[in-house]
Structure 1
Amino acid sequence: MTPHPDAAADTSQLRLIAQEWRRAWRPGVAALFAGSLGYSLYSAVSSLFVEPLQQQFGWSRGDIALVHSFGLVIAFIAPVIGRMTDRYGVRPILSAGLLLTAIGYGLLASMGGSLGYFYVVHFAFALVGMATTGITVTRILSGAFERTRGTALAIGRSGLAVAGALMPMALYPVILRFGSAGGYLLLAAFILLIALPLIWFWVPSRAAEQRSGRIALPSADSARALLANGKVRILIAASVLNYVPVVALLSQMKPLAVEKGLDTVAAVGAVSVMGAAAAMGALLSGLLVDRFWAPAVAFVLNLAPAIGCALLLQHDVPPALFYGAVLMIGLGQGAEIDIVAFMIARYFGLRSYATIYSLSTLGIALGVAVGASLIGMAYDHFGNYDVALLACSGSFFLAALFYLMMGRYPAGGQPD
C-alpha cells in the first residue's frame, strides 16, 4: 500500500530534524551552559550577597544596589559586542568574556571594605560580562539550528532559569560558611571548569563555519535605519518594560521576602522558586509561540507577573501566597528573551537579527541600570518595597500592551 503523502512528508521532516540535532547538539549544549553560568546568572543570585555585604562591610542596600546604575554606561557596549561577534566569530568573543567574567568574580572575592573598589571592579565585571549574554549565546543557537530554532532557543533560555533555581541552594551554604568571597569564587569555578571548556572545544571557529558553508548573512541594516521602523521601537520598548522589573525584583528578592514576613530559609527558597518559574516560562513560551500569535502569548505572560506584584503589596504575606506570586513573576522572566528572539525573526527576518537583538539588549541594560538601582533606594527611603512593587506591576502591564501593538505577522511569511 502506498504511504499517504502527508505521512511521507512528516517522516521526511522528522528525519531532517533528527539530522539537525545530531549535527548541532554539541554547540547547543555549549551555549546552554555558557548562557546558564555566565554573567546573566549573577542577576538571578545577586540578592544572596546583599545582606552578607551589609554585615561584612557596613554598606547600605542603596550603596550595594548603586552598582546597577553602571549599566547606563555599560549598555552601550552591547552593539560593539554584536559587531565584534559578527566579524571575528562567536567562539573567541564568548571565550574571552567567560574568562574575564571569572577573573571579575575573583577580584570581587578579594575585596576589603572599600566601597570604591567594589564599584570599580563591578563596573569592569559587568562590562566584560556583556560578552557572555544572549548577544553571543543566541548567536550560537541561531547558527547551529534552523528547523528547530525556536525550540533550541527555549531550551537554551531555560538553562539559565534552571541555574537560577539550583544555584541559590549551592551558594547559600557556601556564603554562610565562607562569606561573600566564597560565593564569588564558587561562581568563578563553574565558569572555568564547565562553561569555558565547552565553548572552546564544542563551538566551531569562524574558519570552520565558513568551510561548512554556514557563513554570515548579508550585512545588517544600520541601527539608525532600524530605529526608524516603528515596530522595532515597539518591540524594544516591550522587552525593556518586561525585563527591567524582573531584574529589579531579583536583585532584592531575598530581603524582599524577609520584609514581607518570610524566614531566612523560606526567603532563599523564594529565589529558587523564581528561577524554576523562569524555566517553566521559557519552555512554555517556546512551545506556545510556534502554535499561537506571539504577541497574545506575550500579553498573557506579562499580565501574570503584573498580578503577582500586586499580590505582594500586603504585609505578612503567607509563604504559599508569596511563592505563588513569585511563580507568576518568574513566568514573565522566562518568556521575555525567547519571545523577543522569536518575534525579531518572525517580523523582521534574520538579516538584521543581531543588530535588533543588540539594540534590545542596550535598552534593557539602560533600563536595568535605573530600575535595579531605584528599588534599593526606594527601600532605603520608604522602609518597604511597596512603591517598587507598584512600579513593577505597572511596567509588566505596559509591556503586555506594547506586545499587542506589534500587530499581524508580515504577509507571505518571514521577511528575508
Structure 2
Amino acid sequence: MAGWGEFKRGWRLILAATVGIGTGLTTMVFYTMGVFVPSLTKTFGWSDSQVMVAITIVLLGSSVVGPYVGALTDRIGARRVALGSVIGMGCAWALLALNTGSIAIFYATFTILTLCGAGTLPVTWTKSVIANFSERRGLALGICLIGTGLFGALIKLYAFYVMSAIGWRLAYVCIGAFVLCVTLPITFFFFREPRRALDTSAQAPGIAPEAGLGLREALRTRAFWILSASFFLLSLAISGIAPNLERFLTTSGFDLATAVRIAAWYGIGIVVGRLITGFCLDRMWAPGVVFLLMIPTMITFIVLAGGVSSVPVAMLMVFLVGSASGVEYDALAYLVSRYFGMRAYSAVYGSIFIGFAFGAGFGPVTFSKTFALTHSYHTLLFATAAVVLVGSGMLLTLGRYPRFDAARPGVAHPKAGSAWGVSSQENA
C-alpha cells in the first residue's frame, strides 16, 4: 500500500488537473476541429486543409510560447498561470463566432486563442502533480492526463449536438461558456500549488524540487534531443489522423453522425491508454513501455490502410489509435521528470514540447493535403505506421534513468540496476 497515501492527500489536485488538461487549449481545438470543418467549408467555401491550418497555428504557437509559459510557471506558480489562462481562453473561444468569411481573421482569432490559452497546456498542470507524487507518479499522471480522452470524447459530441441545434457560431460561444462554467471554478477551488513543491522542509521522501538539470544543462544532453525528435515523429504520425477522423470515416462510407460517434472512441482509447501507461511506468522502464504500447497502433494503421466498412471494427481501430495518443502525453511528462529532474521541469518540458507541437501541428495539414492530392489515405497510413516505429524505437537508446542530488543541482549520476525493471525505491 506504499505510495497510495499520496492519492488521499492529493485527490483534489488530481481532479483539477484532469479537468484542466481535458479542457485545455490543445485538447479543445484538436477534438472539435473535425466537427466544425464541414460547416465552415460549406458556409465560407474554404477547403479542409485551409481550416486545418488553424490547428497548425495553435500547436506551433504553443511550441513558441511553451518554454516561456514553463519558465513563468517555475517562477510564479502553476495556479496563477492556470487561472489567468482559463479565463482568457474561455473568452477567446467566443470570438470565433464573429467571423464573417475572412480566413485571415479566422487564423488571427486562433492566434489570440493560443496566446490566451497557452497556460492551460499540460506543462502547467503536470508540474504540480509531479511535485506532489513520487511512488505513484506514473499512475497519477495517467489519471490526470485521461482528461484529454474523457473531455475529448465529450466535447466532440457536445460541439456536434449544439452545432446541430443552434448553428456553429453559437457552438463556439458554448465551448467558451463550458470552459468558464466548468474549468474555472474547479481550478479556483481545487488547484493549489502543492506545499511540498514550494517548501523543501515539507518534502515527502524522494521528492526534491531543486534536484535535476537546469534548462541549459538539459540542452547539452543527448536525452533532450532524443526525446524532442522522438515525440516530434510520434505526434506527427498520431496527431495527423485525429482531427481528420470524421473526414476519413465519411469517405469510407459512413454518414457524418455515425462518423462522429465512431470518432468519439478515440477519446475512450486515450483514457484506457493513459491508465495502462501510468500503471506500467511505475513498474517498468518508460522507453520500453512506450515502444511496446505503440506496436498495436502500428498494426492498426496498416489495417486502416486497407479500408474499413464495419462500425464495430471502425470503433476498435479508432480506439487503438486513441490509446497511442494516450501513451504520448503521459510518457512525455514522466520521461522529463525522470531524465532531467524537477529543478527546471516546466522549462525543460516546454522546450521538448516544441518538437511535439511541431509534429502535431503539421500532421493534420499533411493528412488533409495528401488526401486532397491523392483522394486516398492508403499510402499515408502505411507511412504513418513506419514513422511510429522509428519514433518509438528511438526512445530505446535513452539508457537508464540518472540520479539527481539536491545538494549538487545540475549533476546527474547514472542509476544502477536493470533498465526494464523499476523498483519502488527507484521511483521515489
Residue of structure 2 in register with 1:24 after alignment: 10
Give me the CA root mean square deviation.
Answer: 2.5
Residue of structure 1 in register with 2:405 after alignment: none
| Mean CA deviation greater in 262-271 or 89-98 | 262-271
Q: For residue 52 of structure 2, what is the amino acid of its counterpart?
A: A
Q: Distance in 1 between matches of 2:43 and 2:273?
A: 36
Cα gap change, 1:207/1:274 in structure 2, threshold over 3 Å: closer, same or farther?
A: closer
CA deviation map 1:335-394 (0-9, x unaligned):
111122222233333334323311221111122222222222222222232343233222
CA deviation map 1:88-143 (0-9, x unaligned):
11111111111111111100122221111101001121233221011101012123
| Mean CA deviation greater in 189-198 or 231-240 | 231-240
Determine if the alignment matches structure 1 residue 237 to structure 2 residue 229.
yes
Q: Which among 12, 16, 22 is matched to residue 36 of structure 1?
A: 22
Q: Distance in 2 between matches of 1:302 and 1:179?
A: 38
Determine if the alignment matches structure 1 residue 382 to structure 2 residue 374.
yes
Q: Distance in 2 between matches of 1:157 and 1:341?
A: 10
Quote how far apart the aligned CAs of 1:204 are: 2.7
Q: Which among 306, 309, 318 is matched to residue 314 of structure 1?
A: 306
Q: Which among 34, 44, 51 is matched to residue 64 of structure 1?
A: 51
Residue of structure 2 in register with 1:284 after alignment: 276
Residue of structure 1 in register with 2:254 after alignment: 262
Confirm or deny: 8 A CA contact 1:240 1:360 kept in the other structure: no
Quote how far apart the aligned CAs of 1:219 are: 8.1
Confirm or deny: 8 A CA contact 2:99 2:105 kept in the other structure: yes
Determine if the alignment matches structure 1 residue 155 to structure 2 residue 143.
yes
Give 3-state SS (helix, strand or coil) of 2:398's partner: coil
Residue of structure 2 in register with 1:5 after alignment: none
Residues 269-348 of structure 1 correspond to what in structure 2 (within 5 A)?
A: 269-315=261-307, 317-348=309-340
Q: Distance in 2 between matches of 1:134 and 1:295?
A: 20
Sequence identity of aligned pairs in percent? 26
CA deviation map 1:265-300 (0-9, x unaligned):
221122211110111000001111222232222112
Cα gap change, 1:401/1:123 in structure 2, threshold over 3 Å: closer, same or farther?
A: same
Query: Once superposed, which parts of structure 1, at least 4 consecutive aligned residues long, lie more than 6 Å away?
Result: 206-209
What TM-score comes out, normalization by structure 2 length?
0.87
Confirm or deny: 8 A CA contact 1:285 1:297 kept in the other structure: yes
Residue of structure 2 in register with 1:54 after alignment: 41
Q: Distance in 1 between matches of 2:235 and 2:60?
A: 16
Determine if the alignment matches structure 1 residue 403 to structure 2 residue 395.
yes
CA deviation map 1:138-161 (0-9, x unaligned):
012123333322221110011221
Cα gap change, 1:308/1:191 in structure 2, threshold over 3 Å: closer, same or farther?
A: same
Residue of structure 2 in register with 1:4 after alignment: none
Point out where structure 2 has 5 or more consecutive residues left out of the alignment.
402-413, 417-424
Give 3-state SS (helix, strand or coil) of 2:342's partner: coil
Quote how far apart the aligned CAs of 1:85 are: 0.6
Q: For residue 50 of structure 2, what is the amino acid of its counterpart?
A: D
Confirm or deny: 8 A CA contact 1:28 1:140 kept in the other structure: no
Residue of structure 2 in register with 1:3 after alignment: none
Quote how far apart the aligned CAs of 1:313 are: 1.3
Q: Distance in 2 between matches of 1:22 and 1:304?
A: 34
What TM-score comes out, normalization by structure 1 length?
0.89
Cα gap change, 1:379/1:301 in structure 2, threshold over 3 Å: closer, same or farther?
A: same
| Mean CA deviation greater in 233-242 or 115-124 | 233-242
Residues 199-210 of structure 1 correspond to what in structure 2 (within 5 A)?
A: 199-204=187-192, 210=198
Cα gap change, 1:205/1:356 in structure 2, threshold over 3 Å: closer, same or farther?
A: closer
Q: Distance in 2 between matches of 1:25 and 1:244?
A: 33
Determine if the alignment matches structure 1 residue 105 to structure 2 residue 88.
no
Point out where structure 1 has 5 or more consecutive residues left out of the alignment.
1-9
Give 3-state SS (helix, strand or coil) of 1:312's partner: helix
Quote how far apart the aligned CAs of 1:259 are: 1.0
Quote how far apart the aligned CAs of 1:45 are: 2.6
Q: Distance in 1 between matches of 2:244 and 2:347?
A: 31
Confirm or deny: 8 A CA contact 2:282 2:427 kept in the other structure: no
Residue of structure 1 in register with 2:69 after alignment: 81
Quote how far apart the aligned CAs of 1:316 are: 5.3
| Mean CA deviation greater in 234-243 or 59-68 | 234-243
Cα gap change, 1:162/1:264 in structure 2, threshold over 3 Å: closer, same or farther?
A: same
Q: Number of paired residues?
A: 402
Q: Distance in 2 between matches of 1:72 and 1:39?
A: 12
